[in-house]
Amino acid sequence: MLRYVVNRILLMIPTMIAISIIVFTIIQLPPGNYLESYIAELQAQGESVDPQKIAFLKQEYGLDKPPVEQYLRWVGGMFRGDFGYSFEYNLPVTKVVGDRMFLTIIVSAFTILFTWAVAFPIGIYSATHQYSWGDYGLSLLGFLGIAIPNFMLALVMLYLANVFFGTSIGGLMGPEFIGKPWSWPKIVSILEHSWIPVFIIGAGGTAGMIRKMRANLLDELQKQYVTTARAKGLPPGKVLRKYPLRMALNFFISDIGSLLPHIISGAEITAVVLSLPTTGPMLLAALKSQDMYLAGSFLMFLAFMIVVGVLISDLALVALDPRIRLQGGVAR
């Protein structure tokens, strides 16, 4: 087991190197570089730039160097915890991301908790009361949740809030707290503001989760061991909790792998619509303006999260499901 874990961790290194090459290549693929798209953007607004200054920046940012050298410099820096320099903000990448990462994790964590808290009971109810009115009603809601894109829901909510309450629901904290150091009132303000984005971002995921939970549980409920347990006289609640529910949880654990990167990049478009100070809009903007080290570092971090997430879910599955553990042991 230990060898397996060490092997998996060692395997992550070449994976990450391969990913870094792919990420860097893809970022370099669109024509031009940051300065060129910067000039193009200024000119589109009728502004002009001093060519002398552009030449200076090109030298300063190292954009006049060959791509291979730029790549090595970037990767070399990452090992020392230096993720490069964001051209757009004129700051080291780590400083740019700063608070945003934390806020994103808060929103995402709440969203995940919200999703679970709502989806679990409803999924179980739907499965155990299959084809009842409750099941139909909740399924309908679930389908609506899947069908309506999050950002659309956000736009509708923005509009309704303005028309009926005359307020604006964007943002993640009261305006007086933006850019201020952390304090208790600030945390309270974030909690007050976060339920709307959490609801909007979570809506789609919740609906999907309900459907998955229902389907998995239904599969298990029809199996013979359930019938046997019932026949032996176990109370229905205990049957459910002890056997089929546990079996149905596997999908849920293997989901962790895709959940972790979601924490960083989740719901970019919704975050743009709601003006959330999370990392999604920043990643989007960095990609658009070819701010390559900022975008690259984000993508690397996402890749890292996926790799770690898959590892965690694999290990968790091994730990939780004796079938996987035992068969895996035999193969090894």
Partner 1 sequence: MMRLPASLLFAFTLVVLGVGATRGEEPPLLKADVEAGKLPPMAQRLPRTPLVVDITRPDWTIGRYGGELRTLLAKDRDIRMMVVYGYSRLVGYDDQLNLVPDILERVENVDSRIFTFHLRPGHRWSDGQPFTSADFRYFWEDVANNTDLSPFGLPRILKVRDRGPRFEVLSDTAVRFTWDEPNPMFLPALAGPSPLYIYRPAHYLKQFHPRYIGLDKAKAQAKEAGARSWAGYHQKKDEQFRFDNPDLPTLEPWINTTPLPSTRFVFVRNPYFHRVDKAGRQLPYIDSVVANIADGKLIPAKAGTGDVDIQARDLRFDNYTFLKENAKRNQYRVLLWAKGIGSQIALYPNLNVEDPEWRKLMRDVRFRRALSLGIDRHEINEAVYFGLAKESSNTVLQRSPLFRQDFRTAWTKYDIKAANALLDSIGLGKRDAHGLRLLPDGRAMEIIVDTAGESTEETDVLELVRDSWRKLGIALFSRPSVREVFRKRVYSGKSMMTVWSGLNNGIPTSEMSPDELAPTAQEQLQWPMWGQYYENGGKGSEPPALPDVKELVDLYEKWRLSGSPAEREQIWLQILGIHAQQVYTIGIVSQALQPIVSRNRVRNVPAEGLWSWDPGSYFGMYHPDTFWLDAQETR
Q: Which residues bind partner 1 (CB under 8 A)?
A: 30-32, 36-37, 40-41, 43-52, 55-56, 59-60, 62, 82, 85, 88-92, 95-96, 98, 100, 158, 162, 168, 170-171, 175, 178-179, 272-273, 275, 277, 281-282, 285
Q: Which is nearer to partner 1, 102 or 251 (CB)?
A: 102
Q: How far is the CB of 200 from partner 1 (least distance, A)?
A: 15
Whole-number CA gyration radius for the chain? 24
Q: Which of 108, 77, 82 is nearest to 95 (CA)?
A: 82
CB of 160 to partner 1, least distance (A): 11
User: Of 36 and 135, which CB lies nearer to partner 1 in the complex structure?
Assistant: 36
Closest approach of partner 1 to the CB of residue 89, in Å: 5
Closest CB to partner 1 among 100 and 214? Answer: 100
Q: Which is nearer to partner 1, 81 or 237 (CB)?
A: 81
C-alpha triplet 248, 250, 252: angle, nearest 5°: 95
CA–CA separation, 22 vs 35, rounded Å? 22
Tokens of 156: 């509708």
Sign (positive or negative) of CA dihedral 26, 28, 31, 36: positive
Cβ nearer to partner 1, comparing 56 with 102: 56
Run of H or E residues at 91:
strand 91-92
Q: Which helix (H) or strand (E) holds 316?
A: helix 292-320
For residue 30, the minimal CB distance to partner 1 (Å) is 7
Cα–Cα distance list, 81 to 95, 101, 174, 306 (Å): 12, 16, 33, 20
CB of 311 to partner 1, least distance (A): 32
Query: What is the nearest approach in angstroms of partner 1 to the Cβ of residue 63?
Result: 12
CB closer to partner 1 out of 82 and 255: 82
Q: Is 292 within 8 Å of 28 (Cβ atoms)?
A: yes
For 272, residues 6+ apart whose C-beta sits below 8 A from its C-beta are 151, 280, 281, 284
Instruction: Provide, rounded to whole angstroms, the least separation between the CB of residue 177 and partner 1.
Output: 9
Residue number with CB closer to partner 1 (196 or 282): 282
